[in-house]
Amino acid sequence: MTCAHITDHLSEWVDGELATEVAHAVDTHLATCASCQARAHSMRALKHAIARLPSRESPPGAVQARLEALRFQQSRRRANVAAWLMGAGAAVVIGVVALYVKGAAHPPSRQFLEDLVADHLRSVPESMPAEVASDSPVVVSRFFLERVPFQPLAPLMPEARLLGGRLCRLNGERSQLLFYAAEGQTLSLFISRAGSFEAARCDAVRDYYVCGRRSGELTLMLVGALPAETLQRLLSKAVL
Ligand SMILES: [Zn+2]
């Protein structure tokens, strides 16, 4: 087993949920691999920290976000390995459901959607402090001036509160990443010249939705764990 295989199995290994022969293979690898040992150690520490929390249902944002990012990375790696094993022709491994396809010439690629969700999980303020933290569109827009190659936006959306943002790159393009709170969730809004949402649409990427729309040369992509209809509604009512 390679380190990547071990990492995929580590969570179940810590929980004692692996089949005996797989567990044995992990044991054997761990005996000789310091970096996997370190990963196993921090995984166990993280799980213990969560187990000690007063309410097991709601660990604090940072821990929850780290765990989600970890899970997402693992299942993503597993999906990539599966796709590789199955051959490129059978790479239908991610349940991407196009809900609002209106003659989209170049729908966003699965990889692009996966990257958006991974960025969302990694970058939300629960995981990493925002570079600009404010609910003022003026303050947030000003932060992005000169940092992105377009006139920055900080849209107001009904029923969503602006939290702040950070600079990010999509397909190599400097882009805006804004954070909003809505219905107890943190949402990420990517604003970029990169992104191939020719028409308004939502795609499911496991437990998340990515909804996109265009505004001139820019694409707005809203990512979160709320229902597609909710994200779509927020996005369509965004005041640019
Ligand atoms: Zn290893």
Q: Are residues 66 and 10 in the same domain?
A: yes
Residues 67, 149, single domain; the answer is no
Ligand 1 centroid, distance to 138 Cα (angstroms): 48
Asked if 117 and 208 sit in the same domain, the reply is yes
Instruction: Provide the H-helix boundaries in the chain.
Output: 3-14, 20-32, 34-51, 61-86, 110-123, 137-144, 228-236
79 and 137 assigned to the same domain: no
Give yes or no: residues 40 and 158 share one domain. no
The alpha carbon of 11 and the centre of ligand 1 are apart by a number of angstroms equal to: 14
- Say whether 50 sits in a helix, a strand or coil: helix
Gap from CA of 7 to ligand 1 centroid (Å): 8
Task: Please tell me whether residues 202 and 86 are part of one structural domain.
Answer: no
Instruction: Tell me, yes or no, whether 207 lies in a domain.
Output: yes
Phi, psi at 23, each rounded to 5°: -60, -40
74 lies in some domain:
yes
d(CA 7, CA 28): 14
pLDDT by residue for the chain (240 residues), tens only, comes to 889 888 888 888 888 888 889 999 999 999 999 989 888 888 887 777 666 655 444 455 666 666 667 666 666 665 655 555 454 443 333 333 333 333 334 678 888 888 899 889 888 888 888 999 999 999 999 999 999 999 999 999 988 999 999 999 888 889 999 999 999 999 999 999 987 677 788 999 888 999 999 888 899 999 999 999 999 999 999 988
What spacing in Å lies between the alpha carbon of 26 and ligand 1's midpoint?
9
CA of 127 from ligand 1 middle (Å) equals 26
Concatenated DSSP letters for 192-232?
A: ES----SS-EEEEETTEEEEEEEETTEEEEEEESS-HHHHH
- Ligand 1 mean position to 38 CA, how many Å? 9
CATH of the domain at 175: 3.30.200.100
Same domain (yes/no): 78, 21: yes
pTM of structure? 0.60
Distance 75 CA to ligand 1 centre (A): 18
Q: Is residue 141 part of a domain?
A: yes
Burial class (CB in 10 A: 0-12, 13-18, 19+), 206: middle
Whether 83 and 122 share a structural domain: no
Q: Are residues 73 and 183 in the same domain?
A: no
Tell how far the Cα of 114 is from the centroid of ligand 1, in angstroms: 25
Q: For tokens 């196009």, name the residue.
A: 98
Domain that holds residue 18: 3-90
How many structural domains is the chain composed of?
2
CA of 40 from ligand 1 middle (Å) equals 10
- Residue 164 domain flag: yes
Q: How far is the CA of 87 from the centre of ligand 1 (A)?
A: 26
